[in-house]
Amino acid sequence: MRKSKQEASETRQRIVETAAAEFRRGGIEGTGLSDLMAAAGLTHGGFYRHFASKDDLVAEACAAALEAITERIAATATGKVGQRGLSAVVTRYLSTDHRDHPADGCALAALGSELARSSDRTRAAATEGYLKLVAIVTAQLDSDPPDVARARALAAVSTMIGALTMSRIATDPDLSAAILESAAKELTARR
Amino acid sequence: MRKSKQEASETRQRIVETAAAEFRRGGIEGTGLSDLMAAAGLTHGGFYRHFASKDDLVAEACAAALEAITERIAATATGKVGQRGLSAVVTRYLSTDHRDHPADGCALAALGSELARSSDRTRAAATEGYLKLVAIVTAQLDSDPPDVARARALAAVSTMIGALTMSRIATDPDLSAAILESAAKELTARR
DNA sequence: TGTACATCAGTGAACGCGCGTTCACTGATGTAC
DNA sequence: TGTACATCAGTGAACGCGCGTTCACTGATGTAC
């Protein structure tokens, strides 16, 4: 039962998007191809009509996941600059909603330590996503000279990723909230 | 060939310490019990004389890993307070040496996203380690009121964890170094 | 202090299971004439 | 435009492999008398 080219390309797209969500939910190593394909409404045998290996899909799914989140974060900042733009970005990223829904959140926080052990291609996709977030934050820091803004943005995005990760690890709900709040406060504090 | 109580307890300790290193090196899911036991100089069958399950060992190994790193970080700050103590802690944590040796570094950076999906016991051990780091940093911020110092420390430790993780993901060596440097600079900047 | 026996740390083979990957097969799609 | 055949998306069974866990066995340690 061969499918049309268009159907096949839609299927491929569906697998990538399902994977992007499932990897963020259960981890890369923790998500099997059988479960993944089932979640995309397929049987596992067809996987290799679309991808050469699991690693292939991992790299593509990470890229897709990061494209989605950076677009949403960028949208948060549109029409705002400076303190208001920064505040919008930081508040959105460090929200309890983001913390509680890793499957459609930032892949750098959901998969960070796994990514550090991943293939070059996957790490390159992750690096690109990180730089996109850095660019968004840099654009808000318009009262600093460009190189200072960039350096501050590198640190700010690292803070966001670390705080979100830690807020998911923390067993105490109050602590979890405090981590998000103090990171947000620190990042939006005027100098 | 039964071993003496003391030998058995030394063996158990050796397994925990080997696991603490191997998990940080290859991830929790990425490290099998057979390889682990072999690395500790044993065959895998004996594992269950010491632990009820892999998860048991995971929790204990995380606790051990974090105890070791927090002690070393605390030692870095002894005899120094304020800016000098903060700078010593931050510089040590955000060093290229720490980045390049995850196996005996901070488990929160090496395993962060996996820990977020781990059992309550493991996450509790991770939370305790995080709070120990927060306490160390809080103690350096002696010119702030206690609650402000604590909030700033929560954010600072999150920054340290996020920056170290991202520096390991980054495919560009210059970017990797820049992440560490700008985070360190941001954290030690006077207000 | 010496002896007999129970305990149990560690070995190595085996368990069922799910993993990533391969393959023969199907039948609708795409293509060549 | 219609027909014959090649292509290939997707199915479902099967592959070898390593996983966490169990178990019979060993022999030195620990204990009771």
Q: What is the DSSP string of B39-98?
A: HTTS-GGGGGGT-SSHHHHHHHHHHHHHHHHHHHHHHHHTT--HHHHHHHHHHHHT-HHH
Is the CB of A49 within 7 Å of strand D? yes
Is the CB of B15 within 7 Å of strand C? no
Residue A30 tokens, joined: 């923790």
Contact A112 B152 (CB under 8 A): no
pLDDT of residue A178: 98
- Residue A112 · residue B114 · CB < 8 Å: no
Distance CA A137, CA A127 (A): 15
Distance CA A113, CA B117 (A): 12
List, in order, residues 6 or more apart from A116 with CB less than 8 Å away. A123, B102, B110, B165, B168, B169
- Residue A100 · residue A151 · CB < 8 Å: no
* Distance, CA of B5 to C1' of C10, in Å: 13
Is the CB of A169 within 7 Å of strand D? no
Contact A169 B127 (CB under 8 A): yes
Mean pLDDT of chain A: 96
* Best residue of A169, A185, A187 to probe chain B, by most B CBs closer than 10 Å: A169
pLDDT of residue B2: 87
pLDDT of residue B1: 73
Question: pLDDT by residue (tens digit) across B79-114?
Answer: 998 999 999 999 999 999 999 999 999 999 999 999
Distance CA A138, CA A102 (A): 25
- pTM (2 d.p.): 0.96
CA distances from B164 to A81, A108, A151, B101 (A): 29, 12, 15, 11
Chain A: residue whose CA lies nearest to B180: A155
- Residue A52 · residue A65 · CB < 8 Å: no
Closest-lying nucleotide for A29 based on CA to C1': C19
Distance CA A74, CA B182 (A): 23
CA distances from B172 to A40, B16, B135 (A): 34, 34, 33
What is the distance in angstroms between the Cα of A12 and the nearest Cα belonging to chain B?
A: 27
Question: pLDDT by residue (tens digit) across A72-123?
Answer: 999 999 999 899 999 999 999 999 999 999 999 999 999 999 999 999 999 9
pLDDT of residue B156: 98
Q: Which residues of A130-152 are buried (b: 16+ CB within 10 A; e: fewer)?
A: bbbbbebbbbbbeeeeeeebbbb
> Does A151 score more than 90 pLDDT?
yes
Closest-lying nucleotide for B32 based on CA to C1': D19
Phi-psi region of A43 (alpha: psi -120 to 50; beta: other; left: phi over 0): beta
- Binned at pLDDT 50, 70 and 90, residue B168 comes out as very high
CA distances from B87 to A148, B64, B90, B180 (A): 20, 25, 5, 13
